[in-house]
Structure 1
Amino acid sequence: MEQANKDRSLVSKVMDGLVTGIVEEKYGAILPPQDVLSKEFDVSRTVMREALSMLLARDMLDVRPKIGTRIRPMSDWRMIDEDVVNWRFRAKPDPMFLRDVIEFRILIEPRAAAQAAARGGAAEIAAIREAFEAFRGIRPGESSYQAADELFHTRIVIASGNQFFRQMAAIIRGALASVNPIMSDRDGLWESALASHQRVVEAIERRDPKDAEMASLALIDSTAEELGGRFSAEPPARV
């Protein structure tokens, strides 16, 4: 046990040293080979390999054959752990959890829609329209419905250009996966959701940040009201 704790401490120390070297641009674009790094930090190759694997898991590094270990752009680094997010969404949703999910979406998605309208590239906005057209052609209950809805919302977040928003996309996808099965069995709800999605994409295409933000907020508000009624819980507070 003592040796295991010592090894974990060494791995943490090496990780910290590697990150310091990376952010200070000590290594350039490619890290030195593992044996060179092991000598630099005076640790075994096993410890170095574990430290590097931890950085790989956080999308900070990328191993390429015949090239070596490339340092990825900081905008790609995983600010949150997507595995943990996905595991949390596997659990059966409860009213408090759904409330928190909606409040999170209210914080992120309307602003992302506004930013997409203001600074999204033409190709990014076209991709949002493409995702909406795919969503329009699928009905709730069909196997591809969930993936189409997730793609639509994810592309808006990507078009926002905000690297933190982009990394929140995992939570938004998990939120949709939790909410959509609950919402999809009510008559007329799909038609309402389709119209709400269309208002968002049209506002983004018009390059109207204010309307895009309001349309996105209205879409989430309708979900909040429906969930509040179904679970006899207060609808999430507007932030």
Structure 2
Amino acid sequence: METANKDRSLVSKVMDGLVSGIVEEKYGAILPPQDVLSKEFNVSRTVMREALSMLLARHMLDVRPKIGTRIRPMRDWRMLDEDVVSWRFRAKPDSQFLRDVIEFRVLIEPRASALAAMRATPAEIAGIREAFDAFRSIAPTDPAYQDADELLHTRIVAASGNQFFQQMAAIVRGALSAVNPIIMRKESSWETVVRTHGRVVEAIERHDPKEAEAASLALIDFTSDEVEQAFPVSHAERV
């Protein structure tokens, strides 16, 4: 049992190292042969083979005869897998990726906020308020800011009561990690962000789904405007 746990831990470490190399474009389009990778990570070929199989199952790699193990485009990665979500958001963002992130949030978060206003239990509403109070007390420069923002959004999505939305919480958290560093470049953004989050929370507390949805959409619109200033999106990328 101890050996099995050790092997699983090794596989996880190798997977993490491989993903770091992929998102940092260390390997190019094709991974080195397994024996080369095994030596690089100082693990057996069995461990390396299992790590590669796990990435294959997540649609991150593709084995081609006479070519080798090809790294698939990030758009092909299985984004419903929470590990893949985390790995995907490690890569340096580009304008198209940020566009897709914002479009995803528009589809999920406003509706989740409206459902939370209709369905949240008193305990869930108290948890949302607690998360918001913690969030607004932390400066954007504080390392705890990101965690506080993610907790607030996660609790709102969870309070929607929709199991599919709840499964998307990892992507919401990843989206926040991608856009927050861009938004918080301006000192003036923090007040707007806190105020708009407050609108969402207060609407949920009042059980006002229309206002909760509108406030959530306003928050994402503000994010979109700030991101577009930093990463201009061409007309071709919009459609």
Fold-level similarity (TM above 0.5)? yes
| Distance of aligned partners of 1:159 and 1:143 in 2 relative to their CA distance in 1, 3 Å threshold | same
- Give the % identical residues: 66
- Map 1:55-66 to 2 at 5 A: none
Instruction: Give the match for residue 199 of structure 1.
Output: 199
TM-score normalised over the length of structure 1 = 0.65
2:182–2:226 contact (8 Å) kept in structure 1: no
Distance in 1 of aligned mates of 2:187 and 2:84 = 34
AA paired with 2:157?
A: V
Shift of 1:187: 2.2
AA paired with 1:171?
A: I
Aligned CA-pair RMSD: 2.4
Mapped pair 1:101 → 2:93? no
Distance in 2 of aligned mates of 1:128 and 1:152 = 6
Instruction: Indicate the SS of the match to 1:90.
Output: coil
Distance in 2 of aligned mates of 1:83 and 1:187 = 32
Distance in 1 of aligned mates of 2:234 and 2:151 = 29
- Map 1:66-145 to 2 at 5 A: 80-145=80-145
TM-score normalised over the length of structure 2 = 0.65
Instruction: Give the match for residue 180 of structure 1.
Output: 180
Instruction: Give the match for residue 190 of structure 2.
Output: 190
* Deviation string, structure 1 residues 139-179 (Cα, Å, up to 9, x no partner): 10101000000000000000000011001000000000011
Instruction: Give the match for residue 212 of structure 2.
Output: 212
State how many pairs are aligned. Answer: 164
Instruction: Give the match for residue 231 of structure 2.
Output: 231
1:113–1:157 contact (8 Å) kept in structure 2: yes
Instruction: Indicate the SS of the match to 2:154.
Output: helix
* Deviation string, structure 1 residues 8-33 (Cα, Å, up to 9, x no partner): xxxxxxxxxxxxxxxxxxxxxxxxxx
Distance in 2 of aligned mates of 1:174 and 1:111 = 19
Shift of 1:234: 5.2
Gaps of 5+ in 2: 1-49, 55-78
Distance in 1 of aligned mates of 2:157 and 2:199 = 16
1:228–1:234 contact (8 Å) kept in structure 2: no
1:201–1:212 contact (8 Å) kept in structure 2: yes
Off by >4 Å, runs of 4+ in structure 1: 234-237
Distance in 2 of aligned mates of 1:179 and 1:234 = 18
AA paired with 1:148?
A: A
